[in-house]
């Protein structure tokens, strides 16, 4: 369904006439983005858009390998079956909590700290989403400097609801005690549109000691002051508590991937977001949008996590507590203008950003039982390992312009100027022990580090239409990623931080073709190249007392390149069927990636493969429908990959290094709609494959984090 206002231009006025509504029963669940999409310019860029409302997947559990099945080249960490956190990467970027993407909701930041700690502990429920936008690599000019690009969750919009009151309720039950309840309300009355939801979910988890409970609430109000002015207010709250079963060694995984010897490990998140938006249609051709958003959030991680996952927890040893408080505020203002030069319409986009964050991190050991008690008994004791405050500041301005040089060719250059000041104030405790674990060094080190830098990055994209159904596209853009809190200081028995760690710099590019062949075939194929000039990674390091530990530092130059392709075939159209009752589509999403370290001053790094980059990443499936009955079958298949830059194959006693074997996982989903009622069912991991996607260095490990086994889920829904 598409709804859009019709504009009438007369002396720079805008009049809203009656809306025209177009419904398409067979609208696609996946496409590339338009050259101008809202307040974004995407001409010449590698873009993907997921129409979430059209998906036949397990929405209640936010199953990422199903939701993102058609997005090329994504590597997905599967930490648990709850879907509370999203961890995706691609093109050689670490998937952990999607920290290498600029992650947004309706266009504003939702991560802990966009510069200092760009990890996303909050993920919007798939049931509340309208679409997901992905702009790879070159989005840094508009949205920030991350190597991965932009990931934007667009919630269901109040203005799309044309009735005064619309209610939706979805109840899901599933394996391992899973229950999810999603309930939303929305509508439009005169100048006011509103939408809100409340989601509750809980479960016991596939492994012992992996239960969770979460509450997520959201409210969005749009008030149309006039035909030109709209004010919007969004409020988001997430609170969850989960038990973490810990990591496994290779031997433990081979014996029983469901086992757990950690009953005292807990993780809690409280996430609160607010956004105030002013949207001003200055004229029919000019729109100005200003947003002020803020975050107040906490994250607490508690557990017994020695660097030997096989070591049982006797219930009396101290637990490691990591507390985080994240506070930030952002003001962003952007203006988009379209104008004609000769016969061609061009587009100009410019904007500014001001950001201030003041987050805190504290870590230490506590003797406080076995439950989720997230407090230090004495913040001045020798059990405190670190206590930091991170005042961060960022000012930025950008401009991009689509120049259309005739009906076929467009070129989009852009510039972004950045001023970043990253600070770290606090202390950490430096300890070293002998082989019998007796302390030989115990020193408190005070730090007050400030790192201001100002720079300009540039990029350019281009597109050439072969005809109305096919387009060549290409882009080249500089990338930049500042060091994070975790890069500066996190105490962990499994690794240490290089005190001289520096920002990452590089550039990326795409060259591809996309389009369709009638209604039979849709395609998008591109080659890409990503140059990492100063990549941060981890490697094995021998301390002065000959203890071998894991160390995080700038480990060298990496070049990542490959092919990304997406094909979707309408099998019935190919066979000559033109009716609307039946539908049968086959899709293939294949990425082939080479990723290696070309230079490094660290032994055993140069010439090795970049970690978490499978040579082959294949997701394929079949989607069928008969009238209101829909069904999909999906297969995810990834080749082997390494967990660290030295390409160690054996996990040894800590299991944080080593090979991640190739794996294949299949899922089946189906749905039926009758009038206002819906029934959906999913079988995750149909073949009950034993596999894992990551070796965690810290939480939720350390060690191997197994993927969930076969699970069954059923959803009953009603919309009034």
Phi-psi domain of 623 (left: phi exceeds 0; alpha: psi -120 through 50; beta: other): beta
Percentages (nearest 5) of helix, strand, coil residues in the chain: 5, 60, 35
Beta bridge partners of 465: 471
Report the greatest alpha carbon distance in the chain: 83
pLDDT of residue 345: 95
Beta bridge partners of 666: 635
Average pLDDT over residues 551-558: 87
Average pLDDT over residues 70-94: 90
Is 322's pLDDT higher than 80? yes
Is 502's pLDDT higher than 60? yes
Residues whose CB is less than 8 angstroms from the CB of residue 333 and which lie 6 or more positions away in sequence, other chains included:
288, 289, 290, 291, 351, 352
* C-alpha span between 139 and 41 (Å, rounded): 9
- Least confidently predicted of 22-31, 73-82, 224-233, 527-536: 22-31
Is 436's pLDDT higher than 70? no
Residues whose CB is less than 8 angstroms from the CB of residue 183 and which lie 6 or more positions away in sequence, other chains included:
167, 168, 169, 170, 197, 198, 199
Range of 4-13, 25-34, 158-167, 533-542 with top mean pLDDT: 158-167
* C-alpha span between 681 and 382 (Å, rounded): 53
pLDDT of residue 543: 66
Average pLDDT over residues 577-599: 94
Is 718's pLDDT higher than 90? yes
pLDDT tens, position by position, 361-383: 999 999 888 999 999 977 777 68
459 pLDDT band, cuts 50/70/90, is: very high
- Averaged pLDDT score across all residues of the chain: 90
Q: Please give the structure tokens belonging to residue 306.
A: 């020695």
pLDDT of residue 547: 64
Segments in 90-194 forming alpha helices (H) = 140-143
178 pLDDT band, cuts 50/70/90, is: very high
pLDDT of residue 445: 83
**Percentage above 90 pLDDT, the chain:** 73
536 pLDDT band, cuts 50/70/90, is: confident
Is 26's pLDDT higher than 70? no
DSSP conformation letters of 396-451: EEEEEEEEE-SSSEEEEEEEEEEEEEEEEEEEEEEEEE-TTS-EEEEEEEEEEEEE
pLDDT of residue 10: 39
Is 17's pLDDT higher than 70? no
* C-alpha span between 254 and 171 (Å, rounded): 36
Burial 171-208 (b: 16+ CB within 10 A, else e): ebebbbebebebebbbbbeeeebbbbbebebbbebbbe
pTM of the model: 0.92
* C-alpha span between 201 and 182 (Å, rounded): 8
pLDDT of residue 27: 63
Is 4's pLDDT higher than 60? no
* C-alpha span between 310 and 657 (Å, rounded): 15
Tell me 127's DSSP state: G
Is 9's pLDDT higher than 60? no
Is 12's pLDDT higher than 70? no
Burial (Cβ within 10 Å: 0-12, 13-18, ≥19) of residue 251: exposed
pLDDT tens, position by position, 110-145: 999 887 788 889 999 999 999 999 998 776 788 888
Listed residue (708, 528, 515, 720) closest to 613, CA to CA = 528
162 pLDDT band, cuts 50/70/90, is: confident
- Least confidently predicted of 8-17, 184-193, 579-588: 8-17
**Strand 495-497 with 504-517, pairing:** unpaired
Is 2's pLDDT higher than 60? no
* Domains contained in the chain, CATH given: 2-719 (2.40.170.20)
The answer to whether 91 and 148 are in contact (CB under 8 A) is: yes
pLDDT of residue 15: 47
- Least confidently predicted of 6-10, 203-207, 443-447, 586-590: 6-10
pLDDT tens, position by position, 602-661: 888 999 999 999 999 999 999 999 999 999 999 999 999 999 888 999 988 889 989 999
Q: How far are the Cα atoms of 2, 233, 381, 622, 629 from residue 673, in angstroms, in the given order?
A: 20, 33, 61, 20, 7
pLDDT of residue 428: 83
pLDDT of residue 422: 86
What is the dihedral sign for C-alpha 650, 554, 478, 148?
positive
pLDDT of residue 408: 96
Listed residue (292, 270, 199, 276) closest to 234, CA to CA = 276
């Amino acid at each position: 369904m598409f709804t859009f206002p019709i504009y009438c231009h007369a002396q720079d006025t805008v009049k809203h006439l009656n809306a025209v509504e177009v419904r398409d029963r067979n609208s696609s669940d996946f496409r590339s983005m338009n050259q101008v999409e809202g307040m974004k310019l995407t001409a010449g860029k590698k873009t993907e858009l997921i129409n979430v409302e059209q998906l036949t997947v397990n929405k209640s559990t936010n199953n990422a390998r199903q939701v993102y099945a058609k997005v090329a080249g994504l590597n997905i960490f599967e930490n648990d079956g709850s879907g509370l956190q999203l961890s995706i990467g691609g093109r050689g970027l670490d998937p952990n909590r999607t920290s290498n993407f600029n992650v947004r909701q309706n266009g504003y930041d939702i991560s802990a700290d966009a510069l200092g700690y760009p990890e996303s502990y909050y993920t919007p429920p798939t049931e509340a989403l309208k679409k997901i936008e992905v702009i790879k690599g070159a989005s840094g000019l508009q949205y920030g400097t991350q190597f991965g690009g932009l990931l934007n969750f667009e919630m269901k919009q109040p203005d799309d609801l044309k009735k005064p009151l619309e209610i939706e309720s979805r109840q899901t039950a599933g394996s391992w005690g899973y229950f999810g309840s999603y309930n939303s309300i929305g509508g439009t009355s005169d100048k006011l549109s509103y939408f809100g939801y409340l989601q509750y979910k809980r479960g016991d988890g596939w492994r012992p000691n992996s239960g969770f409970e979460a509450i997520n609430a959201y409210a969005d109000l749009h008030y149309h002051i006039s035909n030109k002015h709209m004010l919007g207010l969004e409020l988001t709250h997430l609170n969850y508590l989960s038990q973490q079963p810990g990591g496994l060694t290779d031997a433990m995984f081979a014996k029983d991937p469901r086992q757990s010897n950690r009953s005292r490990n807990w993780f809690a998140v409280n996430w609160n977001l607010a956004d105030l938006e002013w949207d001003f249609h200055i004229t029919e051709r000019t729109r100005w949008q200003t947003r002020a958003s803020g975050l107040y959030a906490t994250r607490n991680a508690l557990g017994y996590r020695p660097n030997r996952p096989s070591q049982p927890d006797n219930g009396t040893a101290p637990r490691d507590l990591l507390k985080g408080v994240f506070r930030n505020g952002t003001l962003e203002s952007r203006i988009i203008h379209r104008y004609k030069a000769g016969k061609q319409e061009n587009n100009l986009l410019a904007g500014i950003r001001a950001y201030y964050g003041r987050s805190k991190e504290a870590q230490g050991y506590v003797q406080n039982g076995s439950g989720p008690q997230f407090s230090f008994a004495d913040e001045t004791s020798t059990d405190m390992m670190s206590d930091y405050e991170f005042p961060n500041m960022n000012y930025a301005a950008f401009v991009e312009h689509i120049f259309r040089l005739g009906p076929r060719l467009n070129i989009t250059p852009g510039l972004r100027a950045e001023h970043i000041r990253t600070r770290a104030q606090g202390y950490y405790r430096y300890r070293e022990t002998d082989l019998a674990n007796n302390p030989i060094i115990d020193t408190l080190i005070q730090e007050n580090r400030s790192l201001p830098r100002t720079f300009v990055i540039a990029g350019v994209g281009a597109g050439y239409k072969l005809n109305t159904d096919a387009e060549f596209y290409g882009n080249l853009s500089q990338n930049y990623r500042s060091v994070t809190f975790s890069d500066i200081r996190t105490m962990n028995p499994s690794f240490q931080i290089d005190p001289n760690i520096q920002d990452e710099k590089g550039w990326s590019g795409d060259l591809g073709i996309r389009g369709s062949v009638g209604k039979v075939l849709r395609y998008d194929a591109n080659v890409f190249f990503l140059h990492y000039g100063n990549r941060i990674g981890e490697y094995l390091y021998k301390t002065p007392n000959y203890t071998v530990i894991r160390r995080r530092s700038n480990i060298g130059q990496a070049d990542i390149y490959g092919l990304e392709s997406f094909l979707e075939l309408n099998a019935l159209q190919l066979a000559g069927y033109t009716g609307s009752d039946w539908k049968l589509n086959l899709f293939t999403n294949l990425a082939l990636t080479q990723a290696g370290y070309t230079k490094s001053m660290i032994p055993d790094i140069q010439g090795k493969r970049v970690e978490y980059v499978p040579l082959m990443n294949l997701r394929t499936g079949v989607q069928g429908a008969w009238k209101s009955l829909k069904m999909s079958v999906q297969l995810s298949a990834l080749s082997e990959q390494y967990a660290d830059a030295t390409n160690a194959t054996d996990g040894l006693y800590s299991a944080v290094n080593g090979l991640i074997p190739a794996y294949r996982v299949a899922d089946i989903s189906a749905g039926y709609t009758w009038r206002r009622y819906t029934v959906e069912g999913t079988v995750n991991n149909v073949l009950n494959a034993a596999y894992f996607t990551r070796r965690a260095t810290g939480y939720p490990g350390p060690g191997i984090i197994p993927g969930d086994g076969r699970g069954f889920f059923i959803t009953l829904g009603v919309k009034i």
